[in-house]
Structure 1
């Protein structure tokens, strides 16, 4: 009886020892949290937000309209510029007509001047007649040049108005806020009716079909953790089960840093470590932002 109990206790101790050894061998090589490549969508103009077409959890496509800032004042300014442009065009047409009349007048006086010069050569005209025609010709040329200067001024004015119209149209287009990338809206920072300023964040869009685990490794692990290395990424699942997927190391920091405070123990926090990123396919959507994960190296058989 005593012998049986001793045998039973020995077997139980052996199982505990073996389990302990197995747990140690199965320890993860690194720990971290899930993050994504995300984009903060900000307003490029200031004004009242009249439309916000997305909410947290919505899936958006690249260049999809997601918000609209009030354009009333810009539209009024644009209408004013169009009116100024029309007025300048009318003024230009009037000046062109004046230039055409003046050019014709210069031609007529030039013909008369040439005739008087020929008569002077034949002594059939007086010097007074020649001086009178030359004076009228000089005045006509100066008037024509003056009108052409006015035309140049109106042309420059129209160019400036056109530039202002393009500028206002660009501001109106910027009031229509588009998603810069495809992904899922993971955060919204503003609501319809609120005032926005230039550069104010409106929402955050993240690509959740591929996520990244930011992990930290020490100096002794650098030889095993290399860019392109395939690793196992483990996280908790339902009913205490572990979810395991393959990941690929895409980045390792070139400089060491103190372990972030999210690492559990104080001793670990004071160690110098290197940050690294592991890319993980997330088509099923099981990985969420901030989720803790463990990373294990794939041992060669």
Structure 2
């Protein structure tokens, strides 16, 4: 009986030791299962953009209200376009003036202007011939006293003046025939370019008087109302970008080697029975301390690395800023070696 009792006790002791070994994984000597999942914590990214006009003016219409769904390119608000249209019309008129001036300088002077300059030269030549004849006649008479010295000097001055007037007329004819200088044409080209730039600026300002949604999303805030005068850059709407949905999670430094971009994950949130699926798109190369908004079971002062997870099957029940739990099944291939 004693031997049987000792055998029973021995069997019980061995069974307890086996159970303890299984529970404690060989008292810590057995390797952990490589397929063990990793649980991370984070939040759905808050992605918002403040929308405003690049130009100032009076708001004429606002097409949407808070909570409205906005498609990319959808018109959200419109400034009074009249001042911008007037500025564009004035700029287009300046372009027309500058272009006409440039074309005139490139074409040179008209044939009528050149003919007029030639006629002026001919008239100065005739005047010079008369002045020369009078000067030569009086020069022969002044020696014998038939003409006074004063009369001779007057004829000489008239002759010299006629020569100068002829040279001036010839120079004017040469300018008419040569046309405008290259510098004048270049200046006209620069004036046309400046006028075109001003017209394009006015056209851009007219386009900027219409506020459009830069991407799909939901109107979170309507900060102004029709009739309000707004300054450039002043917030009119706040748009929350709800697609694609991204989760910002954090992995402790000891588990960093278990994850890699491209790994598939499962995302869950409190009070929502649905399990969402996502892909790790980014792992931060820089360590940081756990943000206070992330609830983990570890100490908040542990170093972590930020992850960005792109949720592939998100719906409206997964809202921005919401705390979520991320489950990663399996290890990074490099960690399985």
By the TM > 0.5 criterion, same fold?
Answer: yes
CA separation of 1:135/1:196 partners in 2, compared to 1, >3 Å: closer, same or farther?
Answer: closer
Partner of 2:41: 31
Shift of 1:46: 2.0
CA separation of 1:243/1:27 partners in 2, compared to 1, >3 Å: closer, same or farther?
Answer: farther
CA separation of 1:296/1:213 partners in 2, compared to 1, >3 Å: closer, same or farther?
Answer: same
Matched position secondary structure for 1:29? strand
Shift of 1:280: 0.8
Partner of 2:206: 172
1:228-265 deviation digits (Å, cap 9, x = unpaired): 11111112346xxx321221111111111111111347
Segment of structure 1 superposing worse, 130-139 or 60-69: 130-139
Shift of 1:33: 1.0
What are the ranges of 5 or more consecutive residues in structure 2 without an aligned counterpart? 1-22, 24-35, 127-135, 137-158, 332-337
Matched position secondary structure for 1:260? coil
What are the ranges of 5 or more consecutive residues in structure 1 without an aligned counterpart? 1-17, 19-25, 117-125
Aligned residues: 260
Check the 8 A contact 2:109/2:179 in 1, yes or no: no
**TM-score, length of structure 1 as denominator length:** 0.68
Looking at structure 1, the residues matched to 80 and 172 of structure 2 have their Cα atoms a distance apart, in angstroms, of 55
Partner of 1:251: 282
Check the 8 A contact 1:258/1:270 in 2, yes or no: yes
- 5 Å-filtered alignment, 1:1-301, equals 29-35=39-45, 38-84=48-94, 99-100=109-110, 101-106=112-117, 135-142=168-175, 157-181=191-215, 183-192=216-225, 193-237=227-271, 242-264=273-295, 268-299=299-330
Looking at structure 2, the residues matched to 104 and 155 of structure 1 have their Cα atoms a distance apart, in angstroms, of 28
Looking at structure 2, the residues matched to 266 and 69 of structure 1 have their Cα atoms a distance apart, in angstroms, of 53
Check the 8 A contact 1:209/1:281 in 2, yes or no: no
Shift of 1:142: 4.1
Looking at structure 2, the residues matched to 210 and 188 of structure 1 have their Cα atoms a distance apart, in angstroms, of 20
Looking at structure 2, the residues matched to 250 and 294 of structure 1 have their Cα atoms a distance apart, in angstroms, of 17
Check the 8 A contact 1:36/1:210 in 2, yes or no: no
Looking at structure 2, the residues matched to 219 and 93 of structure 1 have their Cα atoms a distance apart, in angstroms, of 72
Partner of 1:13: none
Shift of 1:214: 0.8
Shift of 1:31: 1.0
Looking at structure 2, the residues matched to 94 and 27 of structure 1 have their Cα atoms a distance apart, in angstroms, of 81
Looking at structure 2, the residues matched to 73 and 167 of structure 1 have their Cα atoms a distance apart, in angstroms, of 14
1:155-212 deviation digits (Å, cap 9, x = unpaired): 654543333222111111111122222x122422422233332223333444434311
Shift of 1:98: 9.3
> Whose radius of gyration is greater, 1 or 2?
2
1:36-61 deviation digits (Å, cap 9, x = unpaired): 55544332122222222223333333
Looking at structure 2, the residues matched to 29 and 142 of structure 1 have their Cα atoms a distance apart, in angstroms, of 89
